[in-house]
């Protein structure tokens, strides 16, 4: 089957690309690349109001950003209008379609008007059946179907006829699309048959749902491809995450390279049950991808974001190259930068009020910070190993309650005092990178915030 597979992504441009739609593109792309077939792009631009140039560009941008390269020229559905109407003429001539006068309400004026439309004739008895590659055997009784409009009274062809005629024209062998099209599929199968064309194989992908099992929407968080880009997600991470919405490799792999995904992908491993959109998992996955970026790539990204935030290009106490590794492995989205490490670049620490409240406004912390300032100032050498050994020693001392002081009592206030935050690189590594004088200065000035 390898060189005969032809699949397509057929978005209707609306201005932003929902992840449910782009997930269909991802599955089609992987299916084609796995089979060595063709992945086609058809823009279903018949809604002239919504299909503006900007809306179409958004689709193309989202595809390029995610690395979904397509084969052959992009097909614009509006360019095929003559084919759609010619197919309708054939259906009329064989009796598979018929004309009727229908009343409709003008959505703009609310006026009732009647006009001639073309309807497709559905079978009156028996069943329509097909084997869905994801959902299994599907059937519908003829009596549960109705004839439907394929040409409106203004002469324009409806989605169903345009979609099927274009699939025939493009030689599409497999239709991989969202669950919401299952009802349409019963209609489309009949149109393929009436036009004497082979019926393609269908695979309907499960709905993407939120934690409550309801369709995932913009109320649940980022829902459009552009938002993920803006929020600092890497395209490779989003791609990997989208593949797992309805598919799994069958082993415990989750982070998989594009090559591994192409090799492993198959429709029979697609799940029919709803796919839960887990934002925490995406965040984790994005962090994994950021951690794996080449040093130079992450460094360039950080530099760009430092410049945009008006911060200096190099940290105060060390080189940018030394700072990159500990920051890189703790960055979850690119938009964490430079906020998660700005205290390396400017003398004035911005203290997170919640961190101050939690770690500094505690009895004894003021004295603790100034005693560490004194001790650090007097240490023969100020390395991560030396500060660690020293803090360990202090933690083992017996406190007023008769128990060892413990590391937590010491490291948390020190961290907040020198960085303003509760999270960051390992404390001792961070102290060394900041440098002794800066650490001592910050401990002393933060003691004024402490109780």
Residue 227, preceding peptide bond in cis (omega within 30° of 0)? no
Report which of 57, 47, 43, 55 is spatially closest to residue 15, judged by C-alpha positions: 55
Quote the least distance from Cβ 172 to ligand GLU, whole Å: 9
- Binding residues for ligand GLU (CB under 6 A): 10-12, 44, 163, 177, 181
CB-nearer residue toward ligand GLU: 181 or 362: 181
CA distance 413 to 313: 28
110-119, long-range: CB within 8 Å, 24+ apart, which pairs?
113/153, 114/153, 115/152, 115/153, 115/154, 116/153, 117/149, 117/151, 117/152, 117/153, 118/88, 118/91, 118/92, 118/149, 118/150, 118/151, 119/147, 119/148, 119/149, 119/150
CB-nearer residue toward ligand GLU: 77 or 240: 77
Quote the least distance from Cβ 9 to ligand GLU, whole Å: 7
Quickly tell me which residue has 């603790």 as its tokens. 368
Tell me the β-bridge partners of 104: 113
CA distance 56 to 78: 13
Quote the least distance from Cβ 181 to ligand GLU, whole Å: 6
Instruction: Determine contact, residues 203/270, Cβ cutoff 8 Å.
Output: yes
CB-nearer residue toward ligand GLU: 68 or 355: 68
Sign of CA dihedral 57, 58, 61, 63: negative
CB-nearer residue toward ligand GLU: 224 or 343: 224
CA distance 337 to 306: 8
CB-nearer residue toward ligand GLU: 164 or 360: 164
Quote the least distance from Cβ 206 to ligand GLU, whole Å: 15
Quote the least distance from Cβ 166 to ligand GLU, whole Å: 9
- 175's tokens: 């239709």
Which residue sits closest to ligand GLU, CB atoms considered? 177
Quote the least distance from Cβ 77 to ligand GLU, whole Å: 8
Quote the least distance from Cβ 283 to ligand GLU, whole Å: 28
CA distance 380 to 382: 7
CB-nearer residue toward ligand GLU: 45 or 432: 45
CB-nearer residue toward ligand GLU: 27 or 351: 27
């Amino acid at each position: 089957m390898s060189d005969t597979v032809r699949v397509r992504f057929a978005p209707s441009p609306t201005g932003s690309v929902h992840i449910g739609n782009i997930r269909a593109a991802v599955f089609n792309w992987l299916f084609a690349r796995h089979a060595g077939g063709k992945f086609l792009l058809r823009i279903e631009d018949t809604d002239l109001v919504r299909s503006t140039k900007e809306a179409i560009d958004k689709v193309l941008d989202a595809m390029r950003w995610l690395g979904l390269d397509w084969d052959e020229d992009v097909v614009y559905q509006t360019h095929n209008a003559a084919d759609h109407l010619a197919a309708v003429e054939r259906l009329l001539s064989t009796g598979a379609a018929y004309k009727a006068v229908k009343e409709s309400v003008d959505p703009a004026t609310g006026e009732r008007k009647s006009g001639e439309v073309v309807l497709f004739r559905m079978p009156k008895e028996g069943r329509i059946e097909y084997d869905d590659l994801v959902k299994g055997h599907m059937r519908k009784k003829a009596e549960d179907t109705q004839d439907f409009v394929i040409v409106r009274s203004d002469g324009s062809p409806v989605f169903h006829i345009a979609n099927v005629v274009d699939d025939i024209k493009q030689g599409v062998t497999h239709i991989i699309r969202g669950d919401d099209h299952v009802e349409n599929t019963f209609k489309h199968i009949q149109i393929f048959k009436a036009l004497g064309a082979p019926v393609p194989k269908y695979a309907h992908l499960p709905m993407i749902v939120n934690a409550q099992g309801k369709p995932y929407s913009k109320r649940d968080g980022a829902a459009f491809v552009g938002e993920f880009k803006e929020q600092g997600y890497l395209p490779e991470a989003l791609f990997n995450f989208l593949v797992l919405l309805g598919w799994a490799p069958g082993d415990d792999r989750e982070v998989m390279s594009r090559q591994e995904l192409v090799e492993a992908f198959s429709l029979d491993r697609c799940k029919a049950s709803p796919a839960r959109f887990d934002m925490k998992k995406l965040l984790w996955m994005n962090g994994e991808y950021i951690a794996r970026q080449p040093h130079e790539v992450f460094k360039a990204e950080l530099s760009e974001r430092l410049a945009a935030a008006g911060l200096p290009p190099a940290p105060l106490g060390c080189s940018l190259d030394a700072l990159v590794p500990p920051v890189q492995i703790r960055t979850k989205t690119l938009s964490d930068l430079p906020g998660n490490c700005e205290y390396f670049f400017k003398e004035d620490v911005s203290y997170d009020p919640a961190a101050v409240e939690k770690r500094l406004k505690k009895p004894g912390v003021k004295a603790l910070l100034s005693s560490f300032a004194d001790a650090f100032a007097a240490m023969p050498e100020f390395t991560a190993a030396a500060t660690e050994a020293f803090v360990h020693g202090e933690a083992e001392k017996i406190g007023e309650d008769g128990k060892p002081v413990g590391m937590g009592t010491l490291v948390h206030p020190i961290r907040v005092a020198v960085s303003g935050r509760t999270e960051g690189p390992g404390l001792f590594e961070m102290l060394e990178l900041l440098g002794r004088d800066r650490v001592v200065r910050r401990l002393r000035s933060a003691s004024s915030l402490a109780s």
